[in-house]
Amino acid sequence: MNMQEVRGRLEAIIGKPAELVKMEDSRWQSLLYAAEPTDPLYSIEEKSIPVERVGAAADGATWFLIHTASEPETHSGRWLLRIADDQLELSTRQLIAWLAQSVTTDSAAGKSPKVESDVQQLGHWLAERLEQGQDPQELPDTLVLKSRLFTEMIPFLLICEGAQNTLGGYEELHQLLTNFLEREVIVVPLHEREWLLLVDRLDVLEVSEEREEEESDQKLLEAFGLGLYELIASEWTGIFNLSVSEPLQPAHGLVSALRLLRESVYLGKTFHVTSHVHLPWELGVERLIYGIPAPQRERFMEEVEGLDAVLADSETLTTLETFFQMNCNVSETAKRLYVHRNTLIYRLDKVKQETGLDVRNFGDAVRMRLAVLLDKVTKD
């Protein structure tokens, strides 16, 4: 296991962002000078414990020296592991310092950490903009990766949940996706278990001559997203959610696109709990409904008598959701539910008896559809 893999595992265990940073020796010395003890047993100034054994707490983080086998530290700077927490317990610091010193990593001085450092820089910048509610239209020139982001790409947002997840770190995810596409994929870590994936537009939308004329870009994006989700779910255990946006030049408008992707995952998980690939262009009604104030939601629900009993019955609720999914087509809904057409009609008639709404009528179907969606928001 190399230092990249160790870093990924540490993020998952301690729940704090970790990154590889290359630092000039003079900067490292000034960092040591500014470091403040985080434990009464440890002081850099007194050198009661060597920094290699416990790390240095400074600038809101704890820094650990990485053992590099192939590059003299004094000539080209030092590779450090930065943990975004300056209050780590002494035992935790000692363990991380031991890992950083004991895992030999020739690659720490090579191309892979440099690339990873660039994407981490972009990831931290994006996460900060989202947290602060900022929406800059262009990436700053200080981001090293910006020069690669002027071509049209398709952004995907991957979020992993659940305590039992086994999602790997940057190296594993990057290698899996690159092998899958047989092309380079930009993998940007945002937070623990949250990744932005940037795929060249031509790798998705101009894949082959077999593309049918009636296939829209959105249909191809959906199919590609489903394939990507299946790939990731087959490799690792956990609960994964994926959203995809339409093509853009990431150097412009990436923050707003990423905000839309996050919102789409949230809305998809709220309204469509069995789905794992969430498409912004299919969530317009859900986005509108989520913005309705609570008093108006409740007033609407109260206007339909018998609605609570209908929505509380799982079989009836599944029938209604499938009916709407199949565009209110009775025959197609019966096929999807594996029931006789007369059985489906009986269920719809029962809904009409209890609520007064005949969902085979357009107006009543709209009211019932809104009620089903509003009920999910209320429960959430």
pLDDT digits (tens, 9 = 90+) for 232-278: 988 888 889 999 999 999 999 999 999 999 999 999 999 988 899 99
Using CA atoms, how far residue 79 sits from 9, 128, 147, 294, in Å, is 18, 24, 24, 52
Top pLDDT among 169 and 155 is at 155
What CATH number should be reported for the domain whose range is 292-379? Answer: 1.10.10.2840
Give residue 337's pLDDT. Answer: 92
Phi, psi of 143, deg, nearest 5: -80, 120
pLDDT tier at 338, thresholds 50, 70, 90? very high
Using CA atoms, how far residue 144 sits from 61, 185, 191, in Å, is 22, 16, 19
Phi, psi of 153, deg, nearest 5: -135, 165
Single-letter residue type at 220: L
Query: For residue range 184-241, what is the model confidence (pLDDT) as tens digits?
Result: 889 999 987 899 999 988 878 765 445 555 678 888 899 999 999 999 988 888 889 9
Phi, psi of 20, deg, nearest 5: -90, 130
- The domain segmentation of the chain, as residue ranges, is 3-105, 114-286, 292-379
Give residue 4's pLDDT. Answer: 61
Q: Which sign does the torsion angle of CA 217, 222, 226, 232 carry?
A: positive
Percent over 70 (pLDDT), the chain: 82
Interacting residues of 242 by C-beta distance below 8 A, sequence separation 6+: 156, 157, 158, 159, 225, 228, 229, 232, 265, 276, 277, 278
Give residue 358's pLDDT. Answer: 94
Q: Which two tokens stand for residue 116?
A: 């990873």
Q: What is the arithmetic mean of pLDDT over 314-329? A: 92
State which H helix or E strand residue 373 sits in: helix 362-379
Strand partners, 61: 58
Give residue 47's pLDDT. Answer: 46
Q: Is the pLDDT of residue 380 over 80?
A: no
Mean pLDDT (the chain, rounded): 82
pLDDT tier at 1, thresholds 50, 70, 90? low
Query: For residue range 67-124, what is the model confidence (pLDDT) as tens digits?
Result: 665 444 444 567 788 888 888 888 888 888 888 777 654 444 344 455 678 898 899 9
The answer to whether the beta carbons of residues 138 and 101 sit under 8 Å apart is: no
Q: What is the arithmetic mean of pLDDT over 337-341? A: 93
What CATH number should be reported for the domain whose range is 114-286? Answer: 3.30.70
d(CA 295, CA 302): 11
Residue in the block written with tokens 């962002």 = 17
